[in-house]
Structure 1
């Protein structure tokens, strides 16, 4: 049986390491070699594990367990063909040894044949009464196969076997999250906490589930219990701060973020949250102070630069906002929302060519929000490129065929280039889609809205809709 990660086979280990230093030859039981090898493997000392395997097999050439440990190392080193040949020999000697099928499953998993790996692991399960490790492996294989339901079932079995297997517990909740079964996760964690009421990890995960469900008082209580269970749990203080922000209790949120800073080295994320809290409290100087601390702590945190950008954008200091959004884009130039923000800033600065380019980048990167198409078309109008503005709205119409806003704008744009037939068609379509929004056309295109023919169209559509 494998040793726990921190367990030391002190006497055999010391004797073995002494042998390595002196070149003396000592004899060990096969079980001693197994313990020594497991210790080295658990601590990532592969070279020493290989030495122990080599010497162990010299002293116990018929030990199947030592041969299986040799296979485990070969699989780890991706020497899969050699490992498979050794497993063939071992299966001939002991076809009922579940470890043989586990190692074969590991080989198939490395070859991305997860279905075969699952089949072998299930065969291994049939051969043992202690399937804890096998269920963990099955859970991982099902994750590789995107079968989150079966993965969850296997990880739950791991937690049932060992309630302190927090890795399995995290995986259970991950599966619930991926399946968007937040209520299921909440029920599972509450049941778990009935049996393990002082588990800080479970309280922390429960708080996160309540947070996703926007059940902020319940989330706050869960994080409080996590802190009661472990008052050094930094993650619980941080998540509690986020909940307090949602509840508008910004001073208390700041206290929790500051606690995380006191407990360990300051983090850029804590500074960022503190800055946002101060901005909500109208403490502008403190907000700036913490935003600048954010990017000083981590110059590559694009969200820090974006926070400074948004701060100056709200203050209508668009020159500074432009400087900082470019900092964010230098870090993450593939972020569509950053490009959209850049476009809006350049629009405010009347840099319409730059705004046009930024909107194009945003759309190319997958931002297809309705207001993106509307703002972009406005930029092109201000740049006196009406035909391009029409082309942009035609693209936007593919995503929003029922948008009255797009139809009203296109009506006005067609009329601006004297394509009156198309303009009338678009106006009629907009009125039929949403008559109440006709003020959008009237306010943006007063030069056309006061004409008799427009008034007649509006009157006729109004009568027809009664």
Structure 2
């Protein structure tokens, strides 16, 4: 039996869902008008049930074979379930019925984009642009394609075109920031956002992105001003509070940063990143118990928060609880095995515990992952020197100089090791190089080996460079 049902009001629309489900239960056939079917399909899409939505569309296509809208919805649902071939077939039928429907080309462009067929995606988006009344979202999709192709300059052009049509599009503002970031063009980014703010001074997203660009150029005071404007416009903007906190940290304003970080808790659930950031501020203030409590809160929320595990280790190290700190450094390294800071701290803890072999292994890891860490080279060579491994210490500094040819302190340290090895001529040669580079740092030599102050050959060379 067939029963007719016509879509007249919201109440009817709601009832249409019940009637549809009754039809399925009874394995019957009712007739629904196109509007009712659209409502039912959208209801299941919103419920995130594409399988049921697709079933409704199948009925709709049978009852309304010339309604393009259902073929487009069918294609959309096939896309959600990765049935691209079926989606293409549905779009082909829709195009035959109504070739001027922009959604056909937009959806086909999406499929090509998802399957990395970028040229075909762009062709379809171009077609959609010609037909659609509102094109800002299409332009943004084209920008995404160019991003996927690694062509960020073109992506920027399309995002700007999109924003010209819809200045309220927050996604466009954030994507633009991302592209400028990838291209490392913060000055251009600043220029754009300042012009944008001249036109729309109440855009919190523009102020926020302007702040981020200032931050990346280490203009922290300006960044804070921009974040403040973003917060003034949108007082629950937790990301702006968080980034303002980060900028305050860069200015060593740790008490202020803590207050700003804590303000984020008024607008969102506390998260591991914020707890960790607060922990770091208390650590810098040498309030180690409080720092440790925040680091623990961080790892309780996210056991993969390597920086927080590391932070716990740092607070214990400060209290000379070196053995305990090693446990937490290991947890951090298990999560981020190539983080040189974690290995450096571990190397130092092993050294303080007199576990020299373990310390040497950890220093080797530091320098494998960060060969431009001059301090690590110096500390590592010191450990070797103290073990009487003078030749290895000098070879280590030779490697350090290869990786850091402009670091004067390495040359001064080499002078000390070569003198200790009895290689005076080589030592004086390195001393000349160091003095040419930075004569004021010659005190480093005597800090390390005070007895060299009595060496007339060294004093003679130094006097030639020191006025």
The interval holding the TM-score normalised by the smaller chain is 0.7 to 0.9
Q: Does 219-228 or 150-159 show the bigger shift?
A: 219-228
**Whole-angstrom CA distance in 2 between matches of 1:341 and 1:61:** 70
Higher mean Cα deviation, 354-363 or 260-269? Answer: 260-269
Q: Which residue of structure 2 lines up, in the alignment, with residue 110 of structure 1? A: 114
Stretch deviating more after TM superposition (351-360 or 14-23): 14-23
- Indicate whether 1:400 and 2:404 are aligned: yes
Determine the structure 2 residue equivalent to 1:373: 377
The partner residue of 2:351 within 340, 347, 353 is 347
- Structure 1 equivalent of residue 140 of structure 2: 136
* Structure 2 residue matching 1:338: 3-state secondary structure: helix
User: Does the CA contact (< 8 Å) of 1:189 and 1:202 recur in 2?
Assistant: yes
Q: Contact 2:414/2:427 (CA < 8 Å) preserved in 1?
A: yes
Structure 2 residue aligned with 1:173 = 177
**Residue of structure 1 aligned with 2:341, choices 330, 337, 340:** 337
Query: What's the offset of the Cα at 1:354?
Result: 1.6
User: Displacement, 1:59?
Assistant: 1.4
Match of 1:293 among 293, 297, 314: 297
Count of residues in Structure 1 that have an aligned counterpart in Structure 2: 456
**Alignment equivalent of 1:78, drawn from 75, 79, 82:** 82
1:56 aligns with 2:60: yes
Distance in 1 of aligned mates of 2:194 and 2:450: 61
Structure 1: gaps spanning 5 or more residues:
1-7
- The gaps in structure 2 that reach 5 residues or longer are 1-11
Structure 2 counterpart SS, 1:134: helix
SS state at 2:31 partner = coil
Tell which deviates more after alignment, 322-331 or 372-381: 322-331
Contact 1:9 1:39 in 2 (8 A): no
Kindly indicate whether residue 95 of structure 2 is the aligned counterpart of residue 101 of structure 1. Answer: no
Q: Distance in 2 between matches of 1:105 and 1:330?
A: 43
Which residue number in structure 1 is paired with residue 306 of structure 2? 302
CA contact (8 A) 1:207 1:222 kept: yes
Question: 1:446, 1:247 → 2: CA distance?
Answer: 36
Task: Report which stretch shifted further, 401-410 or 180-189.
Answer: 180-189
Residues 137-184 of structure 1, C-alpha deviations (whole Å, 9 max, x = no match): 112112212222322333344444444433333223322333344454
Q: 1:158 to 1:290 in 2, by over 3 A?
A: same
SS at match of 1:120: helix
Alpha carbons 1:312, 1:321 under 8 Å: kept: yes
- Over 3 Å counting, the alpha-carbon distance change for 1:362 and 1:17 in structure 2 is farther
**Is residue 2:124 matched to residue 1:124?**
no
Partner-residue secondary structure (3-state), 1:334: coil
Q: TM-score, normalised by structure 2?
A: 0.81
Alpha-carbon separation, structure 1, partners of 2:452 and 2:134: 81
Change (3 A) 1:299 1:201: same
- Tell me which residue corresponds to 2:6: none
What SS does the corresponding residue of 2:347 show, helix, strand or coil? helix
Give the drift of 1:246: 5.3
Partner Cα separation in structure 2 for residue 416 and residue 255 of structure 1: 53
Instruction: Report whether the alignment pairs 1:390 with 2:394.
Output: yes
Provide the secondary structure at the position in 1 that maps to 2:82. coil
Please identify, of 160-169 and 335-344, the stretch whose mean Cα deviation from structure 2 is larger.
160-169
Q: CA, structure 1 residues 110+286, in 2 after alignment: closer, same or farther (shift >3 Å)?
A: closer
Cα separation, partners in 2 of 1:373 and 1:126, compared to 1, 3 Å: same
Q: CA deviation at 1:368?
A: 2.7
Separation in 2, partners of 1:347, 1:305: 20
Judge which range, 187-196 or 361-370, deviates more.
Answer: 187-196
**More deviation, 178-187/143-152:** 178-187
8 Å contact kept, 2:113–2:145: yes
Aligned mates of 1:17, 1:170 — CA distance in 2: 42
Q: CA deviation at 1:377?
A: 1.7
Q: How far 1:15 sits from its partner (Å)?
A: 4.4
SS at match of 1:27: strand
2:30 aligns to what SS in structure 1? coil
Find 1:364's aligned residue among 363, 368, 387: 368
Alpha-carbon distance change, 433 to 302 in structure 1, aligned in 2, over 3 angstroms: same
- Structure 1 position 316, deviation (Å): 4.7
Corresponding residue to 1:66 among 67, 70, 73? 70
The answer as to 2:332 corresponding to 1:328 is: yes
Matched-pair contact (CA < 8 Å) for 1:336–1:367: no
Contact 1:40 1:48 in 2 (8 A): yes
Distance 1:437 1:200, change over 3 A: closer
Work out whether residues 343 and 363 of structure 2, in 8 Å CA contact, stay in contact via their aligned partners in 1: yes
Match of 1:271 among 266, 275, 280: 275
Matched, 1:426 2:430: yes
Q: Which stretch of structure 1 is more off in the superposition, 197-206 or 43-52?
A: 197-206
Question: Quick check: 1:295–1:301 contact (8 Å CA) kept in 2?
Answer: yes
Tell me how far apart the structure 2 counterparts of residues 85 and 415 of structure 1 sit (CA, whole Å): 81
Partners in 2 of 1:367 and 1:26 — Cα distance?
74
Question: Which secondary structure does the structure 2 equivalent of 1:395 belong to?
Answer: helix
